[in-house]
Amino acid sequence: MKFDLKAISKTVMLVLYDLLIIYGLNILVFSGYFSEFNPNEINSIAIALVIFTIFKLLIFALFKQYRVMLSSFGLLDSLKLATVSVVSNIVCFATLFICLPFLPFIFVDVALLIMAECVLIVGMRLVKRVIRLAKKSQRVKTKRTIIIGAGFGGKLVYDECKTNDALDNKVVAFIDDDNNKIGKLFSDVPVYGPISNAKEWIEKYQVEEVIIAIADLDRRKMHEILEYMRDCDVRIKRLPLMSEMSLDDKKNKIVNVDINELLSRKPIQLDNEGLHDFINGKKVLVTGAGGSIGSELVRQIYSHNPDTIILFDIYENAVYDVQQSLIRQIKRDESKVKLVTLIGATYNEARMENIFKAYEPQLVFHAAAYKHVPLMEDSPAEAIRSNVIGTYNVAKLADKYKVEKMVLVSTDKAVRPTNVMGATKRFAEMIIQYFASESKSTAYSAVRFGNVLGSNGSVIPLFKKQIEEGGPVTVTHEEITRFFMTIPEAVGLILQSAVYAKGGEIFILDMGKPVKIAHLARKMIRQAGYEPYTEIPIEIIGLRPGEKIYEELLLDVTTQIKTENEKIYIERPSEVQPVLEEIQFISQVFEIENVQEVKDLLAKVITTYRQPERDKVKV
């Protein structure tokens, strides 16, 4: 058993202090009357005072007064100690005057003694905290802070800001929705409201940090509050949500709001019963199963109890991680779901046919694709091989082996594409629509959405790495915007779209409002605890080849077809393009070495593909 000698020595010093105060005050009060007593009576008084002093110290220990941390000694601790002191004194003096009837009862002296004892014992314990608060109030560098929630949670956060040396927050205001609190003072700090006007008070007080401190907050309300501060250039922290609460006190502290929470919207509602009926007991093939979207597809499909999940990917390391994670999950759940993991390329038609023939999938989610825009500009033939030929092979085999439904994971970059990746994904959409018009057994559909937070190659992990390295954070254009969605949200909507699919639809996910990447960079720097431009520089480096300033989803709620889910729309059907000749035509690119010639050939097939004039791109 290990002993903390430092802590023990502090406790011993505190006990000795209390002993001296208690015994010293008693001697001071009764010494004035010693001249009236004989030596035996004086000895009796002295012995009684020693006994009562020891008794009171034992009472303090019984009520755990020597286990309270002085660094956090507050009002409630002071009241408890004062109460224990007063009651123990009353008991002691009542006993003293009964046992020693020769003592005169002087009420004023006894009352003054009790008051002096309380002040000295409680005051000594408050000294450390008072000194700390005094030092903190003299600091020049403080973060002007607003606390959202003038209740129990707000009080916890306020006290933490006042007493914790690691926090450098100066609370300038509370914000709350309760009309009974608005306009009043809470811990001597003004309360404003409602929370929907948070931006106004943040700007007025030039706030640097906001802490959300509502004890009974759920995730939906959290997203609503974050949306009020969407355009505010501040760092945001919060107390853990009720669903995150832990019995371990060390975890229940103020935490940073994750960038996913800052950019995502309120949680989506899915038809889980419909999804379960759709997937339950089916054999499901997921291509690109090791990728960001593919791996989440696998996880969510598993939760709906399929018969078999077939993981297929060209990259062995990524799909291996997914496989091992799922094996552990299946073992924990004692599930009967069968798992098959296969390596290969979708553009290898013979390999794909062997898989369809051997496993007979009933549902196919085609997420395999090259997605990095700048890389595909330099390797356009490979983009065509994977994104076009690969999609064609999977779609053709889905029809041949009578798959119930095939879903293509597409992208917003397929809309009026300005880069090779977007053009090849538009070609893939055309392939899906062609087979939907021809097939009598398979319902084909595509799902189009923007960037997903934290996906491989996305801007979020890039910015995080750049911040960790001390900057600069690189932004291609001051005005560049992107749509963002969390990976679980996007995958949930892909699965829901598959339920709705009847054949030939291009589903468009409501990505909400576009986000300025420069604004995102500033937010991430602040969330990391740094000051943009001064501590972490932001560098504008110019648009990359094939990159747009604005991405398009073509989501117009007045013209698009609405589905049962408010986040999913269907693009108005367009004329189906024959693709068989185009596939043969585009296959010529594999014999062409010149990158520009490959792009020109692609542009002849995808007439909406517009190659940017690189030299004319200005920032």
Indicate whether 248 pLDDT > 70: no
Q: What is the pLDDT of residue 167?
A: 78
**Among 369, 376, 452, 349, residue whose Cα is nearest residue 410:** 369
Alpha-carbon span 229 to 209, nearest angstrom:
11
Q: Please tell me the predicted confidence (pLDDT) of residue 291.
A: 92
pTM greater than 0.75: no
Summarize pLDDT for 259-310 with one digit per residue, the tens: 766 765 666 677 778 899 999 999 999 999 999 999 999 999 999 999 999 9
What confidence tens digit (pLDDT) does each residue in 107-136 have? 777 788 888 888 888 888 887 777 766 665
Range with lowest mean pLDDT among 120-129, 196-205, 251-260: 251-260
What own/partner pairs with CB < 8 Å and gap ≥ 24 does 38-41 have? 41/100, 41/102
How many Å is the Cα radius of gyration of the chain? 35
For residue 192, what are the β-bridge partners? 175
Neighbours of 591 (CB within 10 A): 7
pLDDT at 251 over 70: no
* Three-class secondary structure assignment of 188-203: CEEEECCHHHHHHHHH
Q: What is the mean pLDDT of residues 230-251?
A: 67
CA 184 – CA 176 distance, rounded (Å): 11
Packing angle, helices 107-137 and 75-99, rounded to 10: 160
* CA angle (158, 205, 194) in 5-degree steps: 70
Region 378-394: what's the mean pLDDT?
95
| Residue 49 vs residues 84, 142, 186, 612: alpha-carbon distances, Å | 18, 50, 45, 95
Class of residue 536 by CB neighbours under 10 A (exposed 0-12, middle 13-18, buried 19+): buried
